[in-house]
Amino acid sequence: MKFKNANVLIGNQFIEYTSFVIQKGVFTEVNEGKSFAEGEDAVDLQSDYVVPGLIDLQLYGVEGYFFGGEPTVENLRGMEDDLLSRGVTGFLATVATSTDDIVLKAIAAAKDFRVHSKGAFLGLHLEGPFLNPKKRGAHPESLIRKAKLEEVKHWVKLAEGEIKMMTVAPELQDEEVLSYLQQNGIILSAGHSNATFAEAESFLNKTITAGTHLFNAMTALHHREPGLVASIFEKRIFSSIIPDGIHVDYAIVKLAKRELENRLFIITDRVASSSSGIYRHKFKGDHYAMPDGTLSGSALYLLEAVKNCVQFVGIPLGESFAMASDYPAQVIGLEKRIGNIKKGASADFIVLNKELQIKEIWFRGELLT
């Protein structure tokens, strides 16, 4: 199919009057600011925005499908269908600190679902249990522990590539564990960490290449004890942030963006209501909390998060969308395949009107809505 007169996001800039071709599920031609020859048949998008499918590297479920609490194939399928309907064409299903049984169930569900997935499910993100109890947030202290090499070897071998990312407190882990995980292609992200500035300097941009929900559950920025946040700023590693105005004030999102620029990306950290299991999230209107009132996950979807970055932080529209597509794709090394509109990439894209309302969602060259 051919499309013309689109306002297409290329990198972090919108290019007007762009035309493109999709064939066999990929972009085969992208003509920046150019149309086809006179008379060639093409869909006229009439200057609508066209952005890559969005990518969420950390969420636990959607309402009705809480994979993080009940890691089943059914919940993965429900997550994928719901997210695709909202323009999220790539996601890591996340499991927080849990029992060994829950982790093994998540690995089994991911492997079983792989052959049934439509392709938006990219794998697992394990946020814990190898965290620092001093920065546990909503994670149960009784289940947080130091990683053992034999344990992580067992998980990695059993997962057969389904574990894509892990959030750990690096200051408490043995170097041989971190090195093993990195050598097996798992992105390691510092989070729920009480690392000092000096400790962070020793592992950032080495075994640890990302930061998890910046500012939340990590040593704060302080003028005498700069901590993990200051080291992340200095080392300029990719770091996620939750732009809901609750987990992080928008003024702080603005500060982080100024410091990290194209290394800051959006996650939703979305959870779902649950009345059983370890995580009994209660919906509070604009966020979720544990029964004792501890802030847990957000109620965001990625498109809403992008709009928040534009409206409340003042980040340009193109850059805000890149924070939810190109940059997370770079984090997991898939930027050549997803998160971008360019020749050879998967034809995953959203058509939006000037009010940023979704008009069409395309996934692998097929119109979903």
The residues annotated as belonging to the active site are 269
Q: Identify how many contiguous H helices and E strands the chain contains and give both numbers.
A: 10, 19
Pairing of strands 2-10, 49-52: parallel
Which amino acid type is present at position 101? D
**Dihedral sign computed on CA atoms, order 108, 112, 113, 114:** positive
Measured distance CA(10)–CA(257) in Å, rounded: 20
Q: Which structure tokens are listed for 165?
A: 């990312």
146-167 burial, b for 16+ CB within 10 Å, e for fewer? ebeeebbeebbeebeebbbbbb
Measured distance CA(49)–CA(303) in Å, rounded: 13
**Dihedral sign computed on CA atoms, order 318, 324, 325, 331:** positive
Pairing of strands 238-241, 282-283: unpaired
Q: Which structure tokens are listed for 347?
A: 């034809």
Largest CA distance in the chain: 68
Tell which residue, 286, 284, 329, 274, has the closest CA to residue 98.
274
CB-CB contact of 43 with 3 (8 Å): yes
